[in-house]
Structure 1
Amino acid sequence: MTDKIPMAATVMLLRDRDDEMEVLMVQRHRNMQFMGGALVFPGGKHDPADADAAVCATCTSEDVALRITGIREVFEECGVLLAREKGTGGFVGDAHRDQIAARHRKKLEKGEMNMVQLAEAEGIEFCTELLVPFAHWITPTGAPRRYDTWFYMVRVPEDHIHAHDGGESIDSVWISPSQALADEAAKLREITFPTRMQLAKLGRSKTVDAALDAARQSTIVTVLPEVIDGKIQIPPEADYDMVRQDERPGPK
């Protein structure tokens, strides 16, 4: 993990629709210091306790900890629980998921419970292996708040009903990448530069399977944006289509 820069995980929850897949995004509360008012993917800062919540045969210890961070943030912000009953192959059912949310979601949000305790209390295990790494971005040098963020993608269970938390997130929407970018260009939504880059790259795929396959076959290049001649620059080998690069990175 990057020294002195807090680690974070962000998850793109995906589902198929007739013409173009959709991704679940949440609108952050205007009063939030980081990305206040912006439409974002659910995610947040790594908690050291996340490292103890699961094992993953194909993950490094650092990677599994960040995947647990992403799963926790998705549950806190959206109510979607990427977990299975221990010893089974299926996702936690609706009734049990609702019970877990009622008993523990607020405790997680307040830091009164960690993911290890949640798993033990409910007899569940987290589906870390389903999260596919998509991107790795580090907030530019000099920004007032910096994060070393890994982006993951996952197909959301079709029967999971999402519900934003009403605190950090005041709204949520299933939206196609192209529609999200069009709304931002029309100033109907506020979407920050890093999120726009992920949407543009994600939008190359029209189905969830295609998006997951593309991510598995790609090489992730760490992106640390720089401002050169008034424009944001990112490494070309990171394979992004630049979208409106004529802005300077600010405190968002």
Structure 2
Amino acid sequence: MSATNGQWYPPEWPERIRALASGELTAVTPRRAATVLLLRDGTAGPEVHMLRRRTSMAFAGGVYAYPGGGVDVRDERPVGWAGPSRADWARWLGTDEPAAQAIVCAAVRETFEEAGVLLAGSSPGTVVEDTTGEDWEADRAALVARELSFADFLSRRGLLLRSDLLAPWDRWITPEFEPRRYDTWFFAAVLPRGQRTRDVSTEADRTVWIRPAEAAAGHDRGELTMMPPTIATLRRLQPYASAAEVLAAAADRELTPVLAVAELRDDGIVLSWPGNDEFTTHIPGGPGAPRSSPDPAPSPAAAPAPSPSAPAEGTGA
């Protein structure tokens, strides 16, 4: 990666931005995805569960992120459902009902796959209290391997997806000039009582519970590598004194998609994310500028571990 104005960007971005503007590059359709800001209350306020993606990952390798991933086509299959209706979720997420169900299912499924936490219960007022047994782990592994659909998993265990345990928080779309693109809905959720996160994701090499302000400070010091959506959502969590306050605040949030805008100027490219001025970046070099060989950025894998405010393994409040 290269750096300018304090912001990191992949060295191929200028070339791809110009190719997109000239019509030489066609933007790929973003894949729907969901990610969950899993919260718990700590002694100094709410903490969020984060994982560091392995550097070998094709997308966002080496960065700190939340549990999440792409929608599985089978996430649209009928599932036992508790909480707001699919029609309500479609209105909140700005989609049709099948897509809304798939996005919510992906959020719950990916949280179980990557953190071992399941937002489901045997009835509308209950939630699973322990998912650490060998049988649960076998099901989790089967979901990761796509040998088992989430609908079949819930049905076999007699569980309802607790959509009321999720709160819509944000929506970001990968820039049009990126080869891998995602239309990602962010949700907030509280760690259910009796459950604990587990370091089970094959896509991560480190997990941590950390206060949003502490994680943001680590990013600002250059110790924790994060993408704009992650640091932006962390900063928006900072004003709240409890996980419950975060969920309450979600009711007033608008999910207007955030999509990067690239402006080509004579002296280079200005890249901005509407509503998120801290990420505005000026990439020097006119339209005919050759691709430079930027100084290498520090390897994300070499970044020091965060100083967590609590162990990665935790139980619900």
Which of structure 1's runs of 4+ aligned residues deviate more than 6 A?
none
How far has the Cα of 1:127 moved from its partner?
1.0
- Of 249, 268, 274, 1:235 maps to 274
* Alignment partners' CA distance in 2, 1:153 and 1:101: 24
RMSD in angstroms over aligned alpha carbons? 2.0
TM-score normalised by structure 2 residue count: 0.71
1:27 maps to which residue?
A: 52
Cα separation, partners in 2 of 1:14 and 1:69, compared to 1, 3 Å: same
Equivalent pairs counted in the alignment come to: 240
Aligned partners of 1:196 and 1:243 also within 8 Å: no
- Give the 5 Å matches for 1:176-195: 176-195=211-230
In the TM superposition, what are the counterparts of 1:1-252 in structure 2 within 5 Å? 4-52=29-77, 53-55=79-81, 56-57=84-85, 58-60=88-90, 61=97, 62-85=99-122, 87=123, 89-94=125-130, 98-228=133-263, 230-236=269-275, 240=276, 242-246=277-281
Partners of 1:120 and 1:66 in 2: CA distance: 18
Structure 1, unmatched stretches of 5+, are: none
* Aligned counterparts of 1:82 and 1:98: Cα–Cα separation in 2: 16
When residues 88 and 141 of structure 1 are mapped into structure 2, their CA distance, relative to the original with a 3 A threshold, is: closer
Task: Give 1:186 deviation, angstroms.
Answer: 1.8
Give the SS at the match of 1:201.
helix
Residues 1:210 and 1:88: Cα distance change in structure 2 (over 3 Å): closer
Partner SS, residue 172 of structure 2: strand
Residues 1:110 and 1:34: Cα distance change in structure 2 (over 3 Å): same
Any idea what the Cα deviations from partners look like across 1:205-236, whole Å, max 9, x if unmatched?
22112211211112222111123464442223
Shift of 1:130: 1.6
Instruction: Name which one, 1 or 2, has greater alpha-carbon Rg.
Output: 2
Question: What secondary structure, in the 3-state scheme, does the structure 1 residue paired with 2:58 have?
Answer: coil
Does the 8 Å CA contact 1:100/1:122 hold for their aligned counterparts? no
- 3-state SS of 1:243 partner: helix
SS at match of 1:8: strand
What corresponds to 2:309 in structure 1? none
Cα deviation digits, residues 82-136 of structure 1 (max 9, x gap): 1102x36221132x65354223111111110011110121111111122111111
Identity between Structure 1 and Structure 2 (%)? 30
Q: CA deviation at 1:166?
A: 4.5
1:59: Cα distance to partner? Answer: 2.4
For each residue in 1:118-156, what CA deviation from the matched residue of structure 2 results, as whole angstroms up to 9, or x when unmatched?
A: 012111111112211111111111111111110011111
Indicate the SS of the match to 1:103: helix
Label 1:169 to 1:69 Cα distance change in 2 as closer, same or farther (>3 A): same
Aligned-partner Cα distance in 1 for 2:44–2:133: 31
Q: Deviations over 1:48-94 (max 9, x none)?
A: 11112344523232222211101111111110111102x36221132
Q: Which amino acid aligns with 2:102?
A: A
Deviates more, 1:219-228 or 1:23-32: 219-228
Q: 1:171 to 1:155 in 2, by over 3 A?
A: same
Separation (CA, whole Å) in 1 of partners of 2:271 and 2:167: 27
Asked whether the 8 Å contact 2:124–2:162 carries over to 1, the reply is no
| Contact kept in structure 2, 1:184 and 1:191, CA below 8 Å | yes
1:81 touches 1:97 (CA, 8 Å); kept in 2?
A: no
- Cα gap change, 1:247 to 1:193, in 2 (>3 Å): farther
**DSSP-derived class of the 2:195 partner:** coil
Separation in structure 2 between the aligned mates of residue 209 and residue 16 of structure 1, nearest angstrom: 9
| Change beyond 3 A, Cα 1:179–1:166 | same
Please tell me the residue identity of whatever aligns with 2:252.
Q
What is the CA distance between 1:244 and its match in structure 2? 4.8
